[in-house]
Structures are given as C-alpha cells and as structure tokens.
Structure 1
Amino acid sequence: MQGQDAPVCGAIDIGSNTLRVVIARCLSAGLDILATDEALVRIGESVNATGEISSEKQDHAIAVLRQFQQLGQQHSAQVTLAIATEAIRKATNRAAFLAAIKDATGIDIHCIDGVIESVLTFYGATYTLNEQARTPAFVGVMDLGGGSTELVLAKHQQIIWHTSLPIGSGWLHDRYLTADPPTYSDNETASTFLRTYLHGLELDRFPSILYATGGSANTLLRMAQQAFGLNTTDDTLTYTDLIRCEGLLWSLPAQEIAQRYQIDTRRARILSAGVLILRSIMKRFELSEIHVSTNGIREGLALAYARYGEQWFEKTRQAAQGSTPAQMTHKQRVVSSANTYDELFVDAGLRMFRERAKVMFSWRDAVLQNKDIEAVHKMRVASRRLRAVMDAYEGIADPKIFKPAYKLVKKTADVLGAARDTDVMIQNLQAQLAHLPSLEQAGIRWLLNRLEAYRKDHQQALIAHINSLDEIAVMRQLEHCLRKER
C-alpha cells in the first residue's frame, strides 16, 4: 500500500454530546482511515445545568479517552491530537477538566474557538469532494453539534464565510425539549426561538448544496432509511424526510425510537432537537434537501496534521483569518463595530419583545378572573414564546438589564405552568371518573379533592404574581435590554 511510511495519527474530538476518534495514516493526498470509534458522554448536559463539567462526566470522558488510546496503540499511532469544542469552552471549570485529562492520559487538548472549529469541519466534510467527477463550485457545510452549530460557505474549495452559532442539539433539548416525547407546546417554543435567532443571519446568497455532519444528522439519515425504506447508498435527506422523522420523534418515547431503529437511547432523546435545527436551517435558506457526510471535525483535524504537521493549529488559524471578514460569530457580527452593527436585527428584536409581551399581558384579566382555564394556557404559551425570543437575543443584550427581565418572564411562565398542569390533571380525572368502577371512583375523588385544594391555594400565588407585574415597567425593561446608543 502506498504511504506505509506516512505517520499514523489519532484525532480526537471532545464534543458537547459525543467523543469521537479517527485513526488514520496521514498521506500527502488525504487520509487512509484505519479505525473510528465514538461514545456518547453528553458533557454539555452538566454544563447546561450547572455551568460546570461534573465529576461523573469527567470520569466518563477519561475512561473513553483511554479506550481511544488503546485503539491508537493497536494501529501503531505515533501522534495523538485532541480538540475540545463548545461545552468545554463554556464550562467554568474548563482548566481543571483539561488538567485532569492531561494527568490521567497524557493527552494535551486544544480548546478551540468556533472559528477554527468551522474550518476543521469544512476540511473534514469536503475532502472527498475531489474524488467526484464534478465538484460543485459553491457549497455549504453544516456541523450540527451538541452545543453549537458551525456553518461554512466555500467557492471552489476556498472558504468565503463561516460562523459558529451557540445552538446545538443537546443545548436545545436541555433548554426546551425535556419532555419524552416533546410536547406540541415545547415544539412551538423551540421553533419560535430558532426562527427568531436564524432571522439574524443575513446572507445575500446561500448555496443550494449543503453538506451536514455530526451525530444527529447521521443518525437521522440512518433512521429515515430504516423507517421509510430510503436507498441506503444515498446520502440525501429531503425536507419531507425530516418532517416525517419529526412526526415519529414527536409521537414515540425515546426508548421505543431506540429499540425500533437501533439507536442509543440517550441519542434518541436529543434527536427531536437535532431534526428541528436541521429543518429550521433548511427552511431559513430555502433548501429542499441536504447531503449527510460521515466525515467531520475529527477527519478535518487529521487532515490539518497531514498538511501542516506540528504546525497544524497555527496554520489552521491563519487559514481562518485569511478568509473574508464576514466570517464572524452571530453575536460578533451584530455588535462588533459600527460598520457591522445590524440595526435591522436589533429593531426586529425590539418589535418582537413588544409584540410577545403585549400578547402575554392581553390574557392578564382573564387569568385573574379564573373563569376559563384556557386563559391560563394562553398566557403561559405567550410567556414561553416571549422567553424564546429573549433567548435568541441574549447574546447582544445588556446582561445587567437582561438577567432580571429574563428571570421575571421565566417565573411568570413557571407559575402559569404549575396552574395549567394542575388544571389539565383535574380535567382528565373528571372525564375518567364516570367510566370507572365504584371502588376506584372513591380514590379518584380523593385525588381530585387534593388537586382542587392545591389549585385553589396556587391561584392565590398566581394572582399575587400577576398583580405584581407592572405592564409599563416590564415593557420598558424589555426595551432597555436592546436599547441602541443614539
């Protein structure tokens, strides 16, 4: 085989959801892949919950990395490269986590930013394009991770624009889609957030060919092939395919999805978020289909080493900096300077803050009157949609003003949610009561009496909270979150 003297490297990606490794012989023309492996650890789950990487997640990650090292030894890997992405970037105990890995395994980990992450993803997802008879001139690459999503545009294999969005399948699941399966209301709230956030990505032109990589994209492709009888040699997912996948994921619990389609149950739990992000990206940029690539950032890391050797990190950063200045993160593009300040984006945020808050307050009197349980439901939905819009604009808001405003809206949604959930339980039990045997009716009546007593007590807390909301003051607080300097 050609290139027997070429170095063998192990390239490791420590992601928010998954740890992955590729063992490859680094040839001048590309990679000779010898082995791959991965493990779902969900480091981002603990970061989203507490801001830190828990000791359990750290121990799990170290155990997986040791397995990766053994795999590398089996193939005589001379070099081990490792990068960490979004969840580790965000963790408050990042330094301690990286030091613990170094002590336990000897592996030095580069905690890369979103810009380098985008470039390495592009390298990996597109390196087989040169093998095609006709290479597309204008392509996009999307890496849907657990904690972030990278988007890259390229012409003639040269990156012209890229961005890192702090939205991933694990993050969206933990923020909005924790029910199993997710509820319609959760879907609406998460969709509102994505639609609002993606509206801020202003591009004159988006390629018609998009390659998607990452665990969720690849799992959805396999799931669609099994569920709908798609051609297993085709890497394409259409918008309709994703709608059909979404229907299954919103109808069946994760355990059943896992059993039907041979998916890790933990992966099945976050697929509903993954499909929603993919579908939202396709809708935003009017794409009818995407191509799913099994290659991604770990292969990109190995390719960077094959091309640049020990200077892979510096050379990759230089390649990123040499691209067009439009390639900045969503947050930076909006606030970096007067020349790139996206006033339309901020104006849209102010408008949506006002509109969502106005709808929420429009149900205030009906909730206080407590005559129609649907009023509580309507105000709760409105408060969650306001919260979703606020999530989308958190990156450019004044944190000192935003945090108390967000806390107030979240508390409103929680108080309304407790009332609504109790109303639904009471309503369902009342509907079942007449159809139950007399022996069971006594128990149901006892439960109903307890729930109705709780609901009555909670109504007082609900009234107190709703009465404490000063509509004018709340509106002013929301507007000041995004107040522009005049």
Structure 2
Amino acid sequence: MTDPVSRPSLSWRGAARPAAPAYAALDLGTNNCRLLIAMPTAQGFRVVDSFSRVVRLGEGLAASGRLSQAAMDRTLNALHVCVDRIGRRRLRGLRAIATEACRRAENGRSFLRRVEHETGLAIEMISTREEAELALESCAPLLRTAPGSGQSRALLFDIGGGSTEIAWVRLDKRSRPELIGYRSLPLGVVTLAEQFGDDAFTEAGYTSMVRFVCDQLRSFEALHCIGREVAAGRVRLIGTSGTVTTLASIALELPRYRRSAVDGIALPSSSALQAAGALRRMGRSGMEAHSCIGPDRARLVLPGCAIFEAIHRRWPCDAVMVADRGLRDGMLLRMMRDRSAQLPMPPFPIPSLSVAAGMVPSA
C-alpha cells in the first residue's frame, strides 16, 4: 500500500495562483479508466490532455459479487497516472465518477475509500439516472432538430462494460433535449462476454445474446410505446459507445480509428448490421489483429454488437447517429456551463456523413 504521506496532491484545490481555464473529468467504468482535460471554447471545449487505459475493474464481478484484488491493483495504477496528469495543471474544476462495477460490487465503496486514501482523488459513485443524463448532456449538440425533419424524439443508448443505458428523449429545436424516461440494463460488453464466454463467437451463441438483450428491452417499450414513434419516422437513434464507433470504423473501412471520421455521422442501420456480420466472420483472431480493435477489446466486440442488434431489432430506425463522446464530455460541459453561464450550442446543422449501405469490408 502506498505511504499516505507521499501521496500526490491535486493542485486544482486551493491553488496559490489563478487557475487556468481548464477542467478535468474522470470516468472509472467496468472496463476502462478514462481522463479528459479540456478548456472551454465557443463551440464547447478543446481537449488539452487525455488518458485511457483498459483496467478490467469488473472482471469476475458477475460470479463473485466483488472487485478482485488484481482488478483493484490494476485500476489504482491507472488512477495514479491520472492524478499525476491532473497535478501538472491548475484547474477550475475536477469531477471523478464511478459507475456500474463499483455500484454492483460488495466492496465497491471500500475500494473508492482506498483510492482516496492512496491517491487523494475523491471518486463519486453516480446513479444510473445520472449516468443517462450525462450521456445525454454529451450528445446534446448532435440532437438539434433539423427544420422539417419531423423528428421529435431521440432514443439514445450507451453500451458500457457493466451496464447499458437507454434514454428516451424529447427534442425541440428551441430548447435543450429533455429526458422523458430511462432504463439501465444490468448488462454490458464485459458481463455478456463473461456470461457467454467462447459461445459469443459462434452463430448460436451470438443469436442467444441478441435474444437475451431483446427480452430485457420489452418492458421499456411497453412503458413508452417507442415502436409507434419509430414507425412514424419521428425518432432519431443515437449511440455513444465503443461498439458504435467500431461499427462505423468497419463500415467506413478505416485503416485505423479516427474520431473525426465517425463522430456525428449518420450511419445507415443496414451498414451497421453488415459491419457486425463482417466482425463475426473475422472471428476472435481477426479482430485481435484489426487496427481498429486489437487484442484488449476483441472479446468484447461481439457482445456489444449483439446489444446494438437487439436495440435495432426492437426499434428499427433507418440510421444510427454515431457519437464518439461519453460521460467525461457530459461532465466537462456541465462544469463549464455551471461555472460561466450557458455555453452556446453549435449552430445547426452538425457536419455529418451518410454512409452508403454497401460500404462494409470484405470478409
């Protein structure tokens, strides 16, 4: 255990000289530890530093109900890196959150106390509702309604490691998107990967995953009658997760991932489903070798595709808007807005790219 006397100090607290106009947001999830440091701009913010590491905090959690010692040690190592990066800057604000793994684990709160003791970083365990709200906050600039589009609703999904957040949203071009209802499914790419194991790479196992997730969505559909709005063409489907950005990368045949190429594009659902099929044909070894996936994520991709396919099967929109933004973006925008009044929304339309339905890589 790190000597508490030598733990890093976070220089944004009580800084002796005026703080730089920068903010930091840290998201500790089931699979990843992510940090974003940014400065506000007229369009939102400009990233000045970022860090992401696969820590697998929720590894084995579904079976044991607890965070393992190895997972906590890996995560602490990553958090020490984050604290070091935070400590190099004088910030106006910092927020750090933990999500499903810490919510679900018996020792989740005690682990966060240990984190604060060893690093000085206070991490807040947020509710599933706030998780959905932060995802919506991050995607709000992409949800401005186009004049004459007829879209008055959005269905936003965020596929995480331990849970999947579904948000049903009211759109109005005169105001910010409004959350009508939300559902947090207690399943994500890590939990499905552990539940289905190697079967996830078989056609039968993949079909079972899709059916399993579909069943989890039935009650949300019964409550909000979303299918009726989808059939009338009034719903915009938007996804924010590694799953949808990976599907977009495969559909666009990118040699390596580029955020600027996928964030904000309208990806035809047919292209997304064909990309999922291409990934299934690659198999695990093919995904491990793919520059947009790699060995750390290969076992998680098909569970994510199954969740997306289940969402599309339940609510078959013609296209999915791809958002490479998440909880950190939502936290940053919230902190900046609360600190310096309303941040202006980008003017409509957001630059986007519609992908031809046939653009998928060959198997």
Computed over aligned residues only, the root mean square deviation of the Cα atoms, in angstroms, reads: 3.0
More helix by share: 1
3-state SS, counterpart of residue 235 of structure 2: coil
Summarize the Cα distance change of 1:229–1:263 in structure 2 as closer, same or farther, 3 Å threshold. closer
Hey, what's the Cα distance between the residues in 2 that align with 1:286 and 1:130? 21
Instruction: For residue 25 of structure 1, report the CA deviation from its aligned partner.
Output: 2.0
The alpha-carbon deviation at position 256 of structure 1 amounts to 2.1
Alignment of 1:296 with 2:341, yes or no, is: no
Partner in structure 1 of residue 278 of structure 2? 248
- For residues 97 and 306 of structure 2, the distance between their equivalents in structure 1, rounded to whole angstroms, comes to 27
Residue number in structure 2 paired with 1:30:
44
Contact 1:12 1:82 in 2 (8 A): yes
Give me the whole-angstrom Cα distance separating, in 2, the residues matched to 1:229 and 1:65: 27
| 8 Å contact kept, 1:239–1:279 | no
1:170 maps onto 2:186 in alignment: no
Q: Deviations over 1:176-229 (max 9, x none)?
A: 2x1176122212322221222222222223452122112222222223322799
In 1, Cα distance between the equivalents of 2:265 and 2:56? 26
1:34–1:75: 8 Å Cα contact kept in structure 2?
Answer: no
The yes-or-no answer on 1:63 pairing with 2:70 is: no
Q: How does 1:390-401 map to 2 (within 5 A)?
A: none
TM-superposed deviation, 1:97: 0.9
The correspondence for 1:14, drawn from 11, 14, 28, is: 28
2:164 is equivalent to residue 143 of structure 1: no
Task: Report the Cα offset of residue 292 of structure 1.
Answer: 1.0
Q: 1:129 to 1:5 in 2, by over 3 A?
A: farther
Letter in 2 for 1:212: G
Q: Which residue is 1:47 aligned to?
A: 61
Identify the residue that residue 224 of structure 1 maps to in structure 2: 251
Q: Does 1:257 align with 2:314?
A: no
Give the aligned residue type for 2:335.
Y
Matched to 1:142, the amino acid is F
Distance 1:220 1:31 in 2: 26
**Which structure has more strand as a fraction of its residues?**
2
TM-score by length of 1: 0.57
Task: Find 2:240's aligned residue among 194, 213, 231.
Answer: 213
Quick one: percent identity of the two aligned structures? 25
Q: In the TM superposition, what whole-angstrom CA distance separates every residue of 1:314-347 from its partner, at most 9, and x where no partner exists? A: xxxxxxxxxxxxxxxxxxxxxxxxxxxxxxxxxx
Secondary structure of the structure 2 residue equivalent to 1:161:
strand
Answer 1 or 2: higher relative contact order, Cα 8 Å, separation at least 6: 2
Name the amino acid aligned to 2:157: M
Written as runs of structure 1 = structure 2, the 5 A alignment for 1:11-410 is: 11-26=25-40, 30-127=44-141, 129=143, 137-152=152-167, 153-156=169-172, 157-176=177-196, 178-179=197-198, 182-201=201-220, 202=222, 203-205=224-226, 206=229, 207-226=234-253, 232=261, 235-309=265-339
User: 1:65, 1:131 → 2: CA distance?
Assistant: 39
- Equivalent-residue separation in structure 1 for 2:28 and 2:69 (angstroms): 16
1: CA distance, partners of 2:78 / 2:148: 39
Whether the 8 Å CA contact 1:282–1:288 is kept in 2: the answer is no
Q: Verify the 8 A CA contact 1:181 1:251 in the aligned structure 2.
A: no
Write the distance in 2 (CA, Å) between the matches of 1:7 and 1:301: 15
| TM-score (norm. length: structure 2) | 0.75
For 1:167 and 1:64, the matched residues in 2 are separated by 24
Task: Show CA shifts across 1:137-159 (max 9, x none).
Answer: 43232111111111221322222
Q: Distance in 2 between matches of 1:240 and 1:110?
A: 39
SS at match of 1:43: coil
Residue in structure 2 matched with residue 425 of structure 1 by the alignment? none
> How far 1:109 moved relative to its partner?
0.9
> Which is worse superposed, 270-279 or 37-46?
37-46
1:181–1:250 contact (8 Å) kept in structure 2: no
Deviation at 1:7, TM superposition (A): 3.5
Structure 2 vs 1, CA of residues 197 and 170 (structure 1 numbering), >3 Å: closer, same or farther? same
Please state how far the C-alpha of 1:293 moved relative to its aligned partner: 0.6
Stretches of structure 2 that go unaligned for 5 or more consecutive residues are 1-17, 340-363
The AA in structure 1 aligned to 2:297 is: R
